[in-house]
Amino acid sequence: MAQPLQNIVVVGGGTGGTLAANLLAKHLRKMIKNNEAKVFLVSSSKYHSFQPGLLEIAFEGKNPRKLVREERSLVSRNVSYIEEKVDKIDLHKQEISLETGRKLPYDYLIIATGSVPNPEAIPGLSSGSLNFHTGPEQSLKIWNAIQQLERGHVVVGIAGVPHKCPPSPNEAVFLLDDYLRKHGKRDGVDITFLTPYPRPYPAEPMSKVVEPRFEKRGIKVVTFFNVESVDPAKKELYSLEGETYGYDLLVMVPPHRGADVIIKSGIGDQDGWISTDKHTMKITGYENTYAIGDATNIPVSKTGVTAHLEAIVAANNIVSSVLKLGELHKYTGRINCPFEMGAGKAAFVVGSYEDPVHQIQPSRIRHLMKRGFERFYWRTLSGHWDWLLVAYFGKTDIVEKQPSSDPTIH
């Protein structure tokens, strides 16, 4: 008797979604060939961007075209790719509604819809500041602005949390300082870093690496600064604590929220973050539905590396269920965020649920590793290079054998 067709849908074509779809197609290729399973990837965007490169556009003038590939070119031929916007996700009916009206039922679902920069959440922020999280166009505006800068006050900071890539605000300061020094402008420009945290970097061990480098470079740090509003006309920034800072150029990391479709579908909290088991990546209350990457509310960094590792866990759990392997994969909370610290040196922010972030000093070799990752990134999305990542990261998931009566084994 033929096995019923298993429809597996991945929503979101970013790092996590692309990898998850390719891994599912890889591990279930025999079932797909026999028409016993289908893997769908639904993406609203034709293009896939290497987001860490936005900092290079903003502060080094990198050509944005070098950071983009067509999503279709990154997807396995065994994946049914749908380039269309998702209108609604119904977890109870197990159905995806596309913008064209098409309904896509599923047996398993991975939501990888990412996060959305939301400068509109703070009055005046959108028109009064620039940022490198919204995309290549905004990043290019920063590059154009700093080229025109001769004197004045540049304020860089964090306007809301959580946000993508925790090191990025600090990286922006280091790269800005590098640019100004290289072009002989640093003496005429003051740099202030504003943060809502009690220290320059949230994790204290790495903040101890950042602090002396900021001090040496003459970068002023203002802590516990929670942005209330911006006045673009006066070029002033106001905090909830009653402080005011003037600026000539304002570069702020905006607050982020979950994707529109998550909020519309009532899946997430008020900010659109999906309640997710931090180990199995299952959405709370659902055995066959997963969330990965920035879309979740789990307490780890919102980065591409995190999305990658979570995608492996979610895909492996679905494969285990479909093939009745009796395995439950659990994410260890491993993070590994590259951290540019200027002067051709970089560090990494490394930790896990059981192993808190520890201090790592910047070095030239780590800088070269960070810059070299861009070329390797496109290959990692295929799902065929995980053996190398395992060799580098070590064990990033724990596999538990499940009894046959476990509800995750269908």
pLDDT greater than 90 at residue 278: yes
Whether residues 321 and 250 share a domain: the answer is no
* 180-188 long-range contacts, CB within 8 A, separation 24+: 180/146, 180/149, 185/149, 185/150, 185/151, 188/150, 188/151, 188/152
Judge whether 1 lies within some domain. Answer: no
pLDDT of residue 310 exceeding 60, the answer is: yes
Residues 17 and 66 in one domain: yes
Q: Which helix (H) or strand (E) holds 32?
A: helix 29-33
- Both 245 and 286 in one domain: the answer is no
With CA atoms as reference, report the closest residue to 68 among 123, 109, 13.
Answer: 13
363: containing domain = 6-114+259-401
Instruction: Establish if 408 belongs to a structural domain.
Output: no
| Percentage of the chain lying above the pLDDT 90 cut | 90
Average pLDDT, the chain: 94
Contact assessment for residue 293 and residue 14, using Cβ atoms and an 8 Å cutoff: yes
Structural contact between residues 148 and 142, judged by C-beta atoms closer than 8 angstroms? no
Q: What is the CATH number of the domain that holds 204?
A: 3.50.50.60
Q: Which of 5-19, 29-43, 244-258, 366-380 is predicted with the least confidence, judged by mean pLDDT?
A: 366-380
| pLDDT tens per residue, range 39-49 | 999 999 999 99
Q: Is the pLDDT of residue 408 over 50?
A: no
User: How far apart (Å, rounded) are the C-alpha atoms in residues 17 and 82?
Assistant: 13
C-beta neighbour count of 269 within 10 angstroms: 13
Residue 406 confidence (pLDDT) above 60: no
Whether the CB-CB separation of 249 and 141 falls below 8 Å is answered with: no
Question: Is residue 357 over pLDDT 60?
Answer: yes
Which residue, among 193, 196, 120, 115, has the nearest Cα to 153 in the 3D structure? Answer: 193
Does residue 410 lie within any of the structural domains?
no
Assess whether 86 and 170 both reside in one domain. no
- pLDDT score at 340: 96
* Co-location of 369 and 242 in the same domain: no
Residues 188 and 98 in one domain: no
Token representation of residue 324: 């009745």
404 in Cβ contact with 326 (< 8 Å)? yes
Looking at residue 279, its pLDDT comes to 97
Q: Looking at the domain assignment, is residue 364 inside a domain?
A: yes
Give the pLDDT mean for 106-133: 97
pLDDT at 239: 97
Domain boundary among 207, 226, 256: 256
Bigger pLDDT: 408 or 252?
Answer: 252
78 with 185, same domain: the answer is no
Residues 302 and 252 in one domain: no
Assign residue 246 a region (left: φ > 0; alpha: ψ between -120 and 50; beta: otherwise): beta
Identify which has the larger pLDDT, 242 or 400: 242
Q: What is the mean pLDDT of residues 10-29?
A: 97
391 vs 117, residue with greater confidence: 117
Q: How far apart are CA 14 and CA 304, in angstroms?
A: 9
φ, ψ at 173 (rounded to 5°) = -65, -45
Encode pLDDT of 129-173 as tens digits.
999 999 999 999 999 999 999 999 999 999 999 999 999 999 999
- Decide if pLDDT at 405 tops 50: no
Residues 126, 51 share a domain: no
Establish if 329 belongs to a structural domain.
yes
- Region 279-294: mean pLDDT is 97
Boundary residue ending a domain (256, 275, 309)? 256
Q: Mark which of 230, 256, 282 sits at the end of a domain.
A: 256
What mean pLDDT comes out for the span 322-327?
A: 96
Beta-carbon neighbour count of residue 1 at 10 Å? 3
As a whole number, mean pLDDT of residues 80-99 equals 98
Do 317 and 219 lie in one domain? The reply is no
Q: pLDDT tens-digit profile of 5-16?
A: 899 999 999 999
Cβ atoms of 12 and 112 within 8 Å: the answer is yes
Categorise residue 326: left if φ over 0, alpha if ψ from -120 to 50, beta otherwise. Answer: left
Q: State how far the Cα of 248 lies from the Cα of 300, in Å rounded to an integer.
A: 34
Q: Dump strand ranges (E) for 215-271.
A: 220-222, 227-231, 236-239, 244-246, 249-253, 256-258
pLDDT tens digits, one per residue of 216-240:
999 999 999 999 999 999 999 999 9
- CA-based R_g, the chain, Å: 22
| pTM to 2 decimal places | 0.94
Based on the fold, state whether residues 283 and 189 are members of the same structural domain. Answer: no
Q: What is the mean pLDDT of residues 275-294?
A: 97
User: Is 407 within a domain?
Assistant: no
Strand partners for 328: 400
pLDDT exceeds 90 at position 53: yes
Stretch among 71-75, 215-219, 378-382 having the lowest mean pLDDT: 378-382
Number of domains comprising the chain: 2
- Residue 25 within any structural domain of the chain: yes
pLDDT of residue 45: 92
- Indicate if 320 and 217 belong to the same structural domain: no
| pLDDT average, residue stretch 327-351 | 95
Indicate whether 406 belongs to any domain. no
User: Is the per-residue pLDDT at 257 higher than 80?
Assistant: yes
pLDDT at residue 1 in the model: 40
Long-range contacts of 120-124 (CB under 8 A, 24+ apart): 121/160, 121/254, 121/255, 121/257, 122/159, 122/160, 122/227, 122/228, 122/229, 122/230, 122/254, 122/255, 123/228, 123/229, 123/230, 124/229, 124/230, 124/231, 124/232
Angle of helix 168-182 versus helix 204-216 axis, rounded to 10: 20
